[in-house]
A and B are shown apart, each in its own frame.
Chain A
């Protein structure tokens, strides 16, 4: 096993991307993720990669769009308000069937908000990606090691489904330091994808990268192809973890930093005599609907813990489908919940 290093979540995202084959980074500064572009600016040029600090988030996502069209493994990173600005570019990339990876180190909002941790970009991450009938494939790590691993894995996933992949984390995960095992850096594949544009490709039919299809039947065909890829992603990329009791009274659902907090909270609750099981979706889209539906049949209640006031709970409710009551424990605006508070709430509803 490689020696583990104590690094921040931001550094793990940056190094995870490079290790996964990313060689093109375009971004615009915003707290709490500035260590990612800083790291990229230091580490990409020496290995032949490209780092550009764009003039805005809008420019950054469109540089990613351009690079991705040529088959480059490109990424951008930002935090909540910056991700809002990138929505148009993401929609165009989905329409043009282009892969990229973006990381959102979410902060308190709405508006300019603050730089404290939040999960209030759940809808933005799982429903968003601008207008139209597309979404980002979205994954939510809950430790520094998992940020490193998931960001690296996101590049081949984005290529496979020709769709943007978002890694959704928050201000705590961005700035926290934990031991992280680093792998050797992989090179991106030398061969370009068959759909990539090249500028000078004598002898082969020209490729067109475009999201403008004025003929509705053609546009519908593009959409159906995208939806087919989402179904395949649901088959292959749905991920979650489970912790706690095998015969629970309460099912706790949480993702990202909230799930870390709930890991300890369900131990406190168990000490007070309330058996809980924690389901932590790692993939938010595709969502692990079936496992939550299964457990909902076997518990008295579901408690959803999120750093927002009822976004993630909607996907849980769709999965539970009325099988039992679903309650919310949320904080918002950059406030954290503590394991003690979650345990208290579990005991209250049990």
Chain B
């Protein structure tokens, strides 16, 4: 098993945190992995991307030209990267900021209005978790329950107040993806 996931969005959307959370969860699940970020110097408003390769053996290249899957958090991410998803792969797209028009017919596309859902749940900042929930439900790469447990591990205790919102966002994303797949 080798799965690559590329994540992109604007700075402040939690692209890197979503990637690190999935990476840490994969480690807890006993898998091998490599995660690396590329981002512009701005804290907010710049572009942020990360690539995560998860494997049950040697990871090999952390750099991937055509990733098997992507999580694209806004319209610019879709415009810049959707064409690089490997044919037969998967893209999870934030339709709140990118629309849900299917621009490719040779990949699976899961469109979730993640920013709207996150706002309903109490914080737009949980957009990344809605998308991650949808991604994990679609790929079954790791157990959803394990992601929730890992959140408690990687977030400093002073941020544990935010975890219920994040967990709700993960679950809602997973639920919507499951409905789309049916």
Q: Which positions in A face B, CB cutoff 8 Å? A: 4, 6, 115-116, 143, 172, 175-179, 257, 260-265, 267, 336-341
With known contacts A176-B36, A177-B36, A338–B27 Cβ distance under 8 A: no
Which B residues touch A6, using CB under 8 A?
Answer: 20, 23-24, 27, 35
Q: Of all chain B residues, which has the CB nearest A115?
A: B41
Nearest CB in chain B: distance from A333 CB, A = 15
Listed by A's residue number, 29 A-B pairs whose Cβ atoms lie within 8 Å are A6-B23, A6-B27, A6-B35, A115-B41, A116-B38, A143-B34, A172-B36, A172-B63, A175-B36, A176-B34, A177-B23, A177-B36, A178-B33, A179-B27, A179-B32, A179-B33, A257-B63, A260-B60, A261-B63, A263-B61, A264-B60, A337-B63, A338-B61, A338-B63, A338-B64, A338-B65, A339-B60, A339-B65, A340-B66
Interface centre among B27, B38, B63, B65 (most CB of A within 10 A): B63
B37 interface residue per 8 A CB criterion: yes
Which B residues touch A264, using CB under 8 A?
Answer: 60-61
Contact B33 A263 (CB under 8 A): no
Which A residues touch B23, using CB under 8 A?
Answer: 6, 177
Which B residues touch A336, using CB under 8 A?
Answer: 63
B46 interface residue per 8 A CB criterion: no
Contact A265 B61 (CB under 8 A): yes
Kindly count the residue-residue contacts between A and B in the assembled complex, taking CB atoms under 8 Å apart: 61
A108 to B152 Cα, complex, angstroms? 37
Nearest CB in chain B: distance from A113 CB, A = 14
B58 interface residue per 8 A CB criterion: yes
Which A residues touch B63, using CB under 8 A?
Answer: 172, 257, 260-261, 336-339
With known contacts A6-B23, A338-B65, A263–B35 Cβ distance under 8 A: no
Question: Can you list, as one digit per residue, whether each of B26-64 has a CB less than 8 Å from chain A (1) or not (0)?
Answer: 010000111111100100000000000000001111111
A178 to B33 Cα, complex, angstroms? 6
Q: Of all chain A residues, which has the CB nearest B53?
A: A264
Nearest CB in chain A: distance from B166 CB, A = 19
Q: Which positions in B face A, CB cutoff 8 Å? A: 20, 23-24, 27, 32-38, 41, 58-66
Among B20, B33, B61, B66, contact of A261 (Cβ-Cβ < 8 Å)? B61
Nearest CB in chain B: distance from A34 CB, A = 12
Q: Of all chain A residues, which has the CB nearest B28?
A: A6
A267 to B78 Cα, complex, angstroms? 29
Nearest CB in chain B: distance from A141 CB, A = 13
Which B residues touch A338, using CB under 8 A?
Answer: 61, 63-66
Contact B60 A177 (CB under 8 A): no
Which A residues touch B33, using CB under 8 A?
Answer: 178-179
A341 to B38 Cα, complex, angstroms? 19
A155 to B58 Cα, complex, angstroms? 29
Which B residues touch A339, using CB under 8 A?
Answer: 60-61, 63-65
Which B residues touch A340, using CB under 8 A?
Answer: 65-66
Which A residues touch B62, using CB under 8 A?
Answer: 172, 176, 257, 260
Which B residues touch A341, using CB under 8 A?
Answer: 65
Which A residues touch B60, using CB under 8 A?
Answer: 260, 263-264, 267, 339
Interface centre among A257, A264, A265 (most CB of B within 10 A): A264
Given contacts A143-B34, A176-B35, A257-B63, 16 further A-B contacts (CB under 8 A): A6-B20, A172-B36, A172-B63, A175-B37, A176-B34, A177-B23, A178-B33, A179-B27, A257-B62, A260-B60, A260-B61, A261-B61, A337-B63, A339-B60, A339-B63, A339-B65
